[in-house]
Structure 1
Amino acid sequence: MGNLSFDVAHLFAGSLVLVSFMLLYQDRMSGLINIFTAHAVILSFSVGWQAYIQHSPHLFVTAAIAIIFKAVMIPVSLQRIMERLRIHRDIEIIGGIGVTMLLGICLVALSLVVMLPATAAADPLAREDLAFALSVVLLGLLMMVTRRNAISQVIGFMSLENGLILAATGAKGMPLVVEISVAFSVLIAFIVIGIFLFRIRERFDTVDVQELDRVRGGRR
């Protein structure tokens, strides 16, 4: 059972890193939202498995929160925002997909080089999950930096937060009250971001960050 627990946990964590690369590769808004849904589903499976092998029932609550909010409510809301704002175009990627993917590979290698030696005394399952989690966090940051569309940057932020949840559960979990407060904080932040996106669209007729910078520069 020990080897099975180890292998399944790493399968889910590795799959989360793989789907993070798929987020980096995607250049269509609708596809980006669908892949983020898969990202959230894999996270919920990973957390659910950790709840089972750690005998921590409260982590099942975290898995349920990930399914309900991140795999259902947020993607549906993003689809509606996209339809309301009439965003049905390609996402411009700074530097191109090839350069972004190469940087992503370098960040994953950096995560392994930094995290594995730093957690040498920790449980083998926890230390490798933490390395995967750091990879997901850094790939989320890379996505935020290389995307010019505000909605895609929001998705990058939420994928980054998925990496933080993976790290917390892999390191023997976190208190239930913290998990619930984090979930509601993310939901409130998402609602606020949605409101700002609508206001930006009404004001400037775009949600492209580069275009907004150009408008701001022209008013100085």
Structure 2
Amino acid sequence: MPQPIFPHLVFDVAHLLAGAMVLISLMMLYQGRLNALIKVFALQAVALAASVAWQAQAQHAPHLYVTAVIAIAFKGVVIPVALHRMVARLGIHRQVETALATGPTMLAGIGLVALALVVMLPVTATSDPLAREDLAFALSVVLLGLLMMVTRRNAVSQIIGFMSLENGLILAAAGARGMPLVVEISVAFSVLIAFIVIGVFLFRIRERFDTVDVDALDRFRGGRA
């Protein structure tokens, strides 16, 4: 593989973009309104596309450019627009309802980032220097996505947490010398299909129970029991 002219620049930019994804994940935990949360998710998709495109350049792996295009097209444009329309059509309360206050949630998020760094860096000590920190950042994004799914009561915000988690998995795959193009395309279409199915279920839940607040649905189930 040809050696880059500025090797330190390659590492620095790769880590800057991956670190930006972690920062944006923390910003998603801080958002209190659904529309703002969707916009920040779109921003994370842009950061993911930029990170994967930079990895394609650094690794001389042209197929990663396809992954970057898929990320910016679907997660940066199509899915955020669809989510905005879904929120409007369902008449969902625009405030993000949380199971945990913003302060403790942010502290938990920072703790998960520290945990990811502490766990991943020693394990990948002998790995490619370009991939080592990116894998730690990717694990941080995955854990923060899980945290969002756990601490959010609204189904739409939980969907965004799930897709943010999947962004972390794509970042990890790209940093670890990528994965076959057919797998990347399959994953992208699987996520799109899952998003469509979830959207259909949200409309059905809204028709049946007049809410998509999972806490209210739990209370309803308890009342019927």
Per the TM superposition, whether the score is higher than 0.5 is yes
Aligned to 1:106: 111
Q: Secondary structure at the match of 2:211?
A: coil
Cα offsets for 1:37-59 (capped at 9, x unmatched) = 00000000000000011000000
- In structure 2, the CA distance between the partners of 1:17 and 1:25, relative to structure 1 (3 Å rule), is same
Q: 1:206-217 alignment to 2 at 5 Å?
A: 206-217=211-222
Superposed structure 1 runs of 4+ greater than 2 Å apart: none
The answer to whether structure 1 residue 194 and structure 2 residue 199 are counterparts is yes
Q: Separation in 1 of the partners of 2:93 and 2:204?
A: 19
Shift, 1:91, TM fit: 1.0
State the one-letter code of the partner of 2:49.
S
Aligned to 1:3: 8
How many pairs were matched up? 220
Q: Separation in 1 of the partners of 2:176 and 2:32?
A: 34
When structure 1 is superposed on structure 2, of 206-215 and 89-98 the one drifting more is: 89-98
State the one-letter code of the partner of 1:138.
L
Shift, 1:27, TM fit: 1.1
Q: Separation in 2 of the partners of 1:55 and 1:45?
A: 15
State the one-letter code of the partner of 1:198.
F
Q: Separation in 2 of the partners of 1:104 and 1:124?
A: 25
Q: Separation in 1 of the partners of 2:96 and 2:157?
A: 8
Aligned to 1:142: 147
CA contact (8 A) 1:30 1:88 kept: no
Cα offsets for 1:148-186 (capped at 9, x unmatched) = 000000000000000000000000000000000000000
CA contact (8 A) 1:41 1:66 kept: yes
Aligned to 1:179: 184
Aligned to 1:124: 129
State the one-letter code of the partner of 2:163.
M
Q: Separation in 2 of the partners of 1:195 and 1:44?
A: 28
Q: Separation in 1 of the partners of 2:48 and 2:97?
A: 27
Task: Select 1:82's aligned residue among 79, 84, 87.
Answer: 87
Shift, 1:89, TM fit: 2.3
Shift, 1:93, TM fit: 1.4
Shift, 1:88, TM fit: 4.1
Identity of aligned residues (%): 73
Task: Select 1:205's aligned residue among 204, 207, 210.
Answer: 210
Task: Select 2:96's aligned residue among 91, 99, 110.
Answer: 91
Q: Separation in 2 of the partners of 1:216 and 1:143?
A: 23
Task: Select 2:59's aligned residue among 36, 54, 74.
Answer: 54
| TM-score normalised to structure 2 length | 0.97
Task: Select 2:74's aligned residue among 53, 69, 75.
Answer: 69
Structure 2 residue runs without a partner (length 5+):
1-5
RMSD: 0.6
Q: Separation in 1 of the partners of 2:97 and 2:70?
A: 31
CA contact (8 A) 1:148 1:208 kept: yes
Q: Secondary structure at the match of 1:144?
A: helix
| TM-score normalised to structure 1 length | 0.99
CA contact (8 A) 1:126 1:171 kept: yes
